[in-house]
Amino acid sequence: MNWFSALLGLALAVVLAFLVLPVVAIFADVGPRELLSSLDDPGATEALWLSLRTSLAAVALIVVVGTPAAWFLATRVFRGRELVITLIELPLVLPPAVAGIALLASVGPRGLLAPLGVSFTLSTAAVVVALTFVAAPFYLRQAQSAFAALDRSWLDASRTLGASEARTLARVAIPAALPGLSAGLALAWGRALGEFGATLMFAGSFAGVTQTVPLAIYERFSTDFTGALGLSAVLVCVSAGLLLAVKFAFRAAA
């Protein structure tokens, strides 16, 4: 092993230690009893179920609308394309508080779309809107890259054989881009499950209605730190399980 390989290995070890140690610390502080007791709490179970339902709804919306949008961006060159891509990626760098304020200003009670009767605040639908807003760029960015990396000869052959663009997308592009699409889906779902700031500001934190697991953890933090740790451990397990399931499912399909 030369010095550069050793340096690469050291860099990987540092990254793993920095990113994995905090997660390991959660399970080091929470024993099996505390973990199981957190699942017995009706409020925790309700928050977990709400997180799963709303994140799944958000991911479904993102995939249904985001896949054709990513295909459009990956296969066409037009004036202002880079500006459009920048605007789509902007939520990636917005602070959570700004994202919440932006949603309030657009679809809040006094928002831009309020005269049209569009308002989602303080409701489960508001949670879905918030999760979709913050998670969509993760999928769109990855899906666009996956479509752009496809061998153009496959797409041209499909069109030459008489397939429409829609059929080419469904039968050739999506199956070929599945690894990239699954990675984007996993990232978007993980981001949706962990969303906190925009949801709190836009949807509020009402048990059974808008209180997702991150909000329930925050509520328990000051009064029941052990309970917060237990619920955090549950969320880590659920998130890891869902992300691995998505990756393996798409890999098997590919």
149 burial level (CB within 10 Å; 0-12, 13-18, 19+): exposed
pLDDT above 90: residue 164: no
- Reported as a single tens digit per residue, the pLDDT across 209-223 is 899 999 988 888 878
Averaged pLDDT for residues 119-142: 91
pLDDT above 90: residue 34: no
Averaged pLDDT for residues 151-164: 79
Instruction: Name the pLDDT band for 154 (thresholds 50, 70, 90).
Output: confident
pLDDT above 60: residue 168: yes
- Reported as a single tens digit per residue, the pLDDT across 5-16 is 888 889 999 999
Angle in degrees, 0-180, between the axes of helices 178-194 and 225-253, rounded to the nearest 10: 170
Averaged pLDDT for residues 134-150: 93
**DSSP string covering 148-170:** HTS-HHHHHHHHHTT--HHHHII
Architecture of domain 41-253: Orthogonal Bundle (1.10)
pLDDT at 99: 92
Rounded distance between C-alpha atoms, residue 97 and residue 208, angstroms: 23
- CA dist 81 to 70, 75, 84, 91, Å? 12, 11, 5, 17
Give the residue extent of every domain in the chain: 41-253
Lowest model confidence (mean pLDDT) among 68-72, 153-157, 191-195, 250-254: 250-254
Answer for the pair 71, 173: CB distance below 8 angstroms, yes or no: yes
Give the amino acid at 117.
G
pLDDT at 14: 94
Q: How far is CA 156 from the centre of its chain?
A: 32
209 burial level (CB within 10 Å; 0-12, 13-18, 19+): middle
Averaged pLDDT for residues 190-208: 89
Sign of CA dihedral 125, 127, 131, 133: positive
Answer for the pair 128, 57: CB distance below 8 angstroms, yes or no: yes
pLDDT above 70: residue 161: yes
pLDDT at 71: 93
Averaged pLDDT for residues 165-173: 86
Percent of the chain with pLDDT over 90: 35
Give the mean pLDDT of the chain: 86
Torsional class of 137: left (φ above 0), alpha (ψ -120 to 50), beta (otherwise): alpha
pLDDT at 232: 86
Enter the tokens of residue 253. 């399909």
Question: Contacts for 245-253 with beta carbons within 8 Å, 24 or more apart?
Answer: 246/182, 246/185, 246/186, 246/189, 247/182, 247/183, 247/186, 249/182, 250/178, 250/179, 250/181, 250/182, 250/185, 251/178, 251/179, 251/182, 253/175, 253/178
> Which pTM does this prediction carry?
0.87
- Reported as a single tens digit per residue, the pLDDT across 125-135 is 999 999 999 99
Rounded distance between C-alpha atoms, residue 35 and residue 47, angstroms: 15
Answer for the pair 238, 49: CB distance below 8 angstroms, yes or no: no
More confident of the two residues 26 and 90: 90
109: which residues sit within 8 A by CB, 6+ positions away?
119, 121
Q: How far is CA 193 from the centre of its chain?
A: 7
More confident of the two residues 224 and 146: 146
pLDDT at 38: 66
More confident of the two residues 74 and 248: 74
